[in-house]
């Protein structure tokens, strides 16, 4: 049986990795899919997110890294998936995820959501915390995979520089 784990993974954290590791032990193939929300502004490009995911999930042979810009339900139908994995860090997550699970069943009554609670030490880790630490130049140790830290910091700096150049060019008058 196969399953899917979705998220923005902007960027992937140790909490995500913990959930993926636990889920991969129970499924033949686990699709880890970065979704695109057109209403959201991301820190990392989709290719960067997928590269960071590859670095962090190295050696997990049953994991398929992918991205999708449509509905999760469409992706699940396309790949004949009925199980969706969701991580729950706290009571707020649980409330939100249960509503999401109900919505998924509305798309297809065969969709089942499997909730996974990560180890307590990962409960306070979020992508927004990692982005905040990146912006402040603080250590990412204990928040993201050690083998991805330098690449993540490099990508972040490149994206910041690119954004600054783009903003400067937007301010130039055309003659």
Are 148 and 55 a contacting pair, CB within 8 Å? yes
- Token readout for 1 is 């049986």
Asked if residue 156 is part of any domain, the answer here is: yes
Question: Alpha helices of 25-174 — where are they, by DSSP H?
Answer: 46-56, 72-78, 91-107, 127-136, 149-170
Which residues form the domain of 32? 2-169
pTM, whole model, 2 decimals?
0.90
Q: Please compute the mean of the pLDDT values over residues 126-145 and round it to a whole number.
A: 96
CATH number of the domain at 120, please: 3.40.50.620
Other C-beta atoms lying within 10 Å of the C-beta of residue 150 = 11
pLDDT at position 171 is: 57
Check pLDDT > 50 for residue 36: yes
pLDDT at 175: 46
Mean pLDDT of 138-164: 94
* 174 falls within a domain: no
Mean pLDDT within 12-27: 96
**7 pLDDT above the threshold of 50:** yes
Domain-located, residue 175: no
75, part of any domain: yes
Is residue 142 in some structural domain?
yes
Tokens of 46: 């989709």
Is residue 20 domain-resident? yes
Total domains in the chain come to: 1
Average pLDDT over residues 24-45: 94
């Amino acid at each position: 049986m196969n399953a899917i784990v979705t998220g923005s993974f902007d960027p992937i954290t140790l909490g995500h990795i913990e959930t993926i590791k636990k889920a991969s032990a129970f499924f033949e193939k686990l699709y880890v899919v970065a979704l695109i929300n057109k209403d959201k502004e991301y820190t990392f490009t989709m290719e960067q997110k997928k590269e960071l995911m590859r670095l962090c999930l190295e050696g997990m042979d049953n994991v398929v890294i992918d991205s999708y810009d449509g509905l999760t339900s469409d992706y699940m139908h396309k790949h004949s998936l009925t199980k969706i994995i969701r991580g729950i860090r706290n009571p707020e997550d649980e409330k939100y995820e249960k509503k999401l699970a109900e919505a998924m069943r509305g798309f297809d009554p065969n969709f089942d959501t499997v909730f996974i609670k990560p180890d307590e030490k990962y409960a306070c880790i979020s992508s927004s915390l990692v982005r905040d630490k990146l912006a402040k130049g603080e250590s990412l140790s204990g928040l993201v995979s050690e083998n991805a830290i330098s690449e993540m910091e490099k990508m972040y700096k490149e994206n910041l520089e690119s954004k600054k150049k783009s903003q400067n060019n937007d301010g130039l008058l055309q003659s």
